[in-house]
Amino acid sequence: MAYKTIVEDGIDVLVCGAGLGGTGAAFEARYWGKDKKIVIAEKANIDRSGAVAQGLYAINCYMGTRFGENNPEDHVRYARIDLMGMVREDLLFDMARHVDSAVHQFEEWGLPLMRNPKTGAYQREGRWQIMIHGESYKPIVAEAAKKSADKVFNRVCVTHLLMDDSKENRVAGAVGFNVRTGNYHVFKSKTVVVAAGGASNIFKPRSVGEGAGRVWYAPWSSGSAYGLMIGAGAKMTQMENRIVLARFKDGYGPVGAYFLHLKTYTQNGMGEEYESKWFPALEEMVGKRYLDIEASHLTHRPIPTCLRNHAFIHEVNAGRGPIHMVTMEAFQDPHLEEIGWHNFLGMTVGQAVLWAATDVDPKYENPELTTSEPYVMGSHATGCGAWCSGPEDLSPPEYFWGYNRMTTVEGLFGAGDAVGGTPHAFSSGSFTEGRLAAKAACKYIDDGKAEGIRVSEEQIKRRKEEIYKPMEHYKIYRNEITAGSVNPNYINPRQGLDRLQKLMDEYCGGVTVSYMTNEKLLNIGLKKLKLLEEDLEKIAAENIHELLRAWELKHRHLTSEAVMHHTMFRKETRWPGYYYRGDAMKVDDDNWHVLTVSHRDPKTGEYTMEKAPCYHLIEDKPEAAAA
């Protein structure tokens, strides 16, 4: 292969993926590692990469302790009830106690945060969310990271982590290729912070044909955080906890600003309130602990996000759709009307464009909502990700093995979507997690834990061959195309993605089956995933761009397999509205008040599953958990 090999040696902290978590990691690594070599490898361009590429209109995680608003304990209570109990409270608390300082820095760096003119505090959207003029959010945090790093490699898609050849289960860097030049990049590093983001486009999206690619989470979120870490043998947690979101139809515009700030509400197709109708039956399924209807009115305890979805999905299935967002009242106020549009112009411009293009004026027409296809990520109302050590001052022994946010692979750290059990971190919390991970990575190096790392030439060569194999395969077999892009010897990345999405949708609880699955379906799904894995060995890439798509697909495949195994393992329906196990339709606290942990053996591909204790470190105070 003609592509050059470019080796970057002697790195201390390698950041793989520089979205919100990665930029936080690079920034903080410089603070604790003044003389350390910090390098970023980013698939796109750091200035506009990741889920925040397009900007955001709110920072969804801010305590406001400085203004006497909230404390981290309450945030843990809120996230815990929203996730039906299943969170890593040590990691959550740790993020929440540091997140405000990250937000204050964003403001210092030039991010315009809105202020409440009466109080001088930041303008609240909801209890936890503050409003921003955030179109340039990503370039602003990128600047801090660029100034901190010794080198930024843009356009390098990281495909694999390098492992230490002298010590089992210790990371040694990463490899990948430049998506423009095709060059092979080798990064030899003492520690790696993986912050390569969550996954869209694993489950078949509602958007098809000309709309394909329109999804809520960024279409370029390829599950690489999970693919890289699973591939290296890191344990994962809560991968069954995929998220379904209520969104404005077809443009996937988020609803938070509307519900919380504009105080809009939903109605069924007949103009009726429908949510509360579903709660009594739902209380039977999940128990009073998670949906105490009477108490929730008194305490303003939040209705968990998944349960709100449940009411939505069931109302539509009962034939009383579509669900509308009642905007016509709020939009009569010119200020709120402006906020409603700005919210999308600064964050999900496609929604504003779609309304304009289809003559939907929310002032005169209540727009339709829908429930999205599931996404696999770990920083919204969901906590998929790696099983990581917590901080030493908070974590019980089962949650602590030396370094904050270190995975079960030595020297391998995570942040943002990469870390499991830490929902409701959002952009600010992900950045904060990056900071915490990088601080711990520096300590790991200073403690001498990275001494004696060796990467063999054999490993570097083997990975190179593996990376470019799809292009080789294409070269060899391209002449055997029978029609269009059909070739008996290979599939291309688009064909592979379609197949993955279809099988995840049908067997693992996507939109076309109303989020329903069961053990039988999951078993078939797993078998089909294995067959797909065999075919992915023969995937063909016509050019470098397709090579990127091929590797994104492989990462999505590894992610999907973990989701399928986890969904099979947890024999209950913990999050009605995210997915249903038809063969175990209730929350089962006696057996399943636990976190799920998986391990994929990198050599054999075999999965082992285990339960881990779900410790409640913060005492319960229902009234303190308000949304």
Interacting residue ranges for ligand AMP, rule: CB under 6 A: 60, 126, 128-129, 245, 254-256, 259-260, 302, 305, 381, 627
Task: Choose from ligand AMP, ligand SFD, none: what does 322 bind? Cβ within 5-8 Å by kind.
Answer: none
Amino acid (one-letter) located at 86 = M
Q: Does 304 bind ligand SFD (CB under 6 A)?
A: no
Q: Does 52 bind ligand SFD (CB under 6 A)?
A: yes
Phi, psi torsion values for 275, nearest 5 degrees: -55, -50
What letter would DSSP give residue 333? S
Q: Does 18 bind ligand SFD (CB under 6 A)?
A: yes
Task: Choose from ligand SFD, ligand AMP, none: what does 627 bind? Cβ within 5-8 Å by kind.
Answer: ligand AMP
Look up residue 26 and give its two tokens: 């690079």
Which residues is 613 bridged to in the sheet? 594
Residue nearest to ligand SFD as judged by C-beta position: 19
Cis peptide before 322 (omega within 30 of 0): yes
Task: Choose from ligand AMP, ligand SFD, none: what does 430 bind? Cβ within 5-8 Å by kind.
Answer: ligand SFD
Query: What is the sign, positive or negative, of the torsion defined by CA atoms of 77, 79, 81, 86?
Result: negative
Give min distance, CB of 245 to ligand AMP, in A: 6
Binding to ligand SFD (CB under 6 A) within 323-352 occurs at 347-348
**Residues in contact with ligand SFD, shown as a per-residue x/- string from 199 to 228 under the rule CB under 6 A:** -----------------xxx--xx-x----
Which residues is 265 bridged to in the sheet? 326
For tokens 């890439």, what's the residue?
A: 541
Look up residue 28 and give its two tokens: 């903080």
Q: Does 559 bind ligand SFD (CB under 6 A)?
A: no
**Residues in contact with ligand SFD, shown as a per-residue x/- string from 130 to 169 under the rule CB under 6 A:** ---------------------------xx-----------
Q: Which lies closer to ligand AMP via its Cβ, residue 245 or residue 491? A: 245
Q: Does 19 bind ligand SFD (CB under 6 A)?
A: yes
Look up residue 318 and give its two tokens: 């009962």
Q: What is the DSSP string of 196-218?
A: ---BSSSSPPS--GGGTT--SS-
Task: Choose from ligand SFD, ligand AMP, none: what does 22 bind? Cβ within 5-8 Å by kind.
Answer: ligand SFD
Binding to ligand SFD (CB under 6 A) within 368-397 occurs at 379-380
If binding means CB under 6 A, how many residues of this protein chain bind ligand SFD?
A: 44
Give min distance, CB of 256 to ligand AMP, in A: 2
Nearest to 274 by CA among 238, 225, 324: 324
Q: Does 59 bind ligand SFD (CB under 6 A)?
A: yes
Q: Does 21 bind ligand SFD (CB under 6 A)?
A: yes
What letter would DSSP give residue 123? P
Task: Choose from ligand SFD, ligand AMP, none: what does 217 bind? Cβ within 5-8 Å by kind.
Answer: ligand SFD
Q: Is residue 83 within 8 Å of residue 423, measured between CB atoms?
A: yes
Q: Going by DSSP bridges, is the β-strand pair 156-163/607-613 parallel, antiparallel, or unpaired? A: unpaired
Query: What is the sign, positive or negative, of the torsion defined by CA atoms of 462, 467, 471, 477?
Result: positive
Q: What is the DSSP string of 534-572?
A: HHHTTB--SSHHHHHHHHHHHHHHHHHHHHHHHHHHS-S
β strands within 257-368, DSSP E: 265-267, 324-326
Return the half-sphere exposure (C-beta side, CA atoms, 13 A cut-off) of residue 588.
Answer: 11
Task: Choose from ligand AMP, ligand SFD, none: what does 336 bind? Cβ within 5-8 Å by kind.
Answer: none
- The Cα 47–Cα 133 span in angstroms is 17
Give min distance, CB of 414 to ligand AMP, in A: 22
Task: Choose from ligand AMP, ligand SFD, none: what does 553 bind? Cβ within 5-8 Å by kind.
Answer: none
Task: Choose from ligand AMP, ligand SFD, none: what does 259 bind? Cβ within 5-8 Å by kind.
Answer: ligand AMP
42 φψ region: left (φ > 0), alpha (ψ -120 to 50), beta (else):
beta
Binding to ligand SFD (CB under 6 A) within 239-268 occurs at 254, 256
Query: What is the sign, positive or negative, of the torsion defined by CA atoms of 111, 115, 120, 124?
Result: negative
Binding to ligand SFD (CB under 6 A) within 405-434 occurs at 416-417, 426-428, 430
Residue nearest to ligand AMP as judged by C-beta position: 256
Task: Choose from ligand SFD, ligand AMP, none: what does 50 bind? Cβ within 5-8 Å by kind.
Answer: ligand SFD
For tokens 């890289």, what's the residue?
A: 228
Dihedral, 472, 478, 481, 485 alpha carbons, nearest 10? 70
Phi, psi torsion values for 277, nearest 5 degrees: -60, -35
Give min distance, CB of 430 to ligand SFD, in A: 4
Kindly tell me which residue out of 13, 15, 20, 130 binds ligand SFD, with binding defined by CB under 6 A: 20
Task: Choose from ligand AMP, ligand SFD, none: what does 487 bind? Cβ within 5-8 Å by kind.
Answer: none
Q: In the complex, which residues of this chain contact ligand SFD (CB under 6 A)?
A: 16-22, 41-44, 49-52, 56-60, 157-158, 176, 195-197, 216-218, 221-222, 224, 254, 256, 347-348, 379-380, 416-417, 426-428, 430
